[in-house]
Amino acid sequence: MMKNPAPWSKRPKRFGIKPLLLALLWLTGSFCFLVDGVVDAKEDAFANDGLHDPQGPSFGELQRPDEAFAGFPTDTVGNKVRWVKALREGAINPRTNIVPETKIKILDMDLILGNTGDNAFVLFPHRAHTEWLDCANCHPEPFKEKFGTSGIKMGAILEGKFCGKCHGAVAFPLTECARCHSVKPDTFRGKFGVQPVAKH
C-alpha cells in the first residue's frame, strides 16, 4: 500500500541555491543602499552646515570632519574631540603665533569660583587654557585680572559672553556642566580664588 504524501503544510521545506542567492543579493543590495544612505546623509549635513558651499569648485576636495578627527581622543559632545587630551598626548602641536620664535607662556594656576547657586563650584584650569591661548585673549577683556571683579554670571555665559565666547563655539559646549562645575561644596575646605599648584 502506497502512503499518501503529507499535506503541503506539513512537508519539510527545502530551499535550493537559487533562492539563497536571490536572498543574498537582495540583502547585499539593501545593505549597500543603507550604507549609501548614511554616506549621503553625512554629505548632506556637511553641505548644509552653513559654512561650506556645495556648489564651489573645491567642495569635493574638502576633508570631512570624521576623516580629519580620526585618531584623536574622542569626546561625546561638540565636535567629538577631547582637544586638551589631544594636545597633551602629542596628537596635535598648535602654533603659538605666526612668528616662529614666539614662546608660549603656560600659567599653571587653578582658580575656584564660588557663588554658583545650587551648583558645584567652578574649577578654572589656567594651564589647559594657556597651552592654547595667550593671556591677552582673555585679559583684560572679557576677564579682569583681579579675581572676583569680572562679574561672571551664567546667563551672560549662555549669551556668548565670558566663557561662552569659546565654549559652545570652538571648545566643549555649555551643556557639559560638570566639566566646569566640578568642585563639590560639601567637600571643599579651601578658599576661593588661586589654588595651590597641581603636579602635572
Which of 145, 140, 174 minimizes the C-alpha distance to 160? 174
Strand partners, 181: 122
Neighbouring C-beta atoms of residue 164, cutoff 10 Å: 19
pLDDT of the residue at 33: 42
| Cα–Cα separations (whole angstroms), residue 2 to 5, 66, 100 | 9, 69, 98
pLDDT of the residue at 84: 92
Find where cell 580664588 sits.
193
pLDDT of the residue at 25: 47
pTM higher than 0.85 for the full model? no
Report the C-alpha gap between 141 and 144 in whole angstroms: 6
pLDDT of the residue at 53: 87
Report the C-alpha gap between 125 and 178 in whole angstroms: 14
Find where cell 541555491 sits.
17
3-state helix, strand, coil in the chain (%, to 5): 35, 10, 55
Q: Which three cell numbers stand for residue 73?
A: 581622543
Dihedral (Cα; 183, 184, 190, 196), 10-degree rounding: -20
| Cβ-contact 77, 172 below 8 angstroms | yes
26 SS3 class: helix
Domain spans of the chain, in order of start = 17-68, 83-194
pLDDT of the residue at 17: 54
CATH dotted code for 83-194: 3.90.10.10
Q: Which three cell numbers stand for residue 132?
A: 592654547
Strand partners, 113: 122
pLDDT of the residue at 165: 95
pLDDT of the residue at 166: 93
Sign of CA dihedral 127, 129, 133, 134: negative
Residuewise pLDDT in 10s, the chain (200 residues):
445 554 544 545 554 555 554 555 445 444 444 444 444 444 566 788 788 888 888 888 888 878 888 999 999 988 889 999 999 999 998 877 777 777 778 999 999 999 999 999 999 999 999 988 888 899 999 999 999 999 999 999 999 999 999 998 889 999 999 999 999 999 999 999 999 876 55
pLDDT of the residue at 60: 83
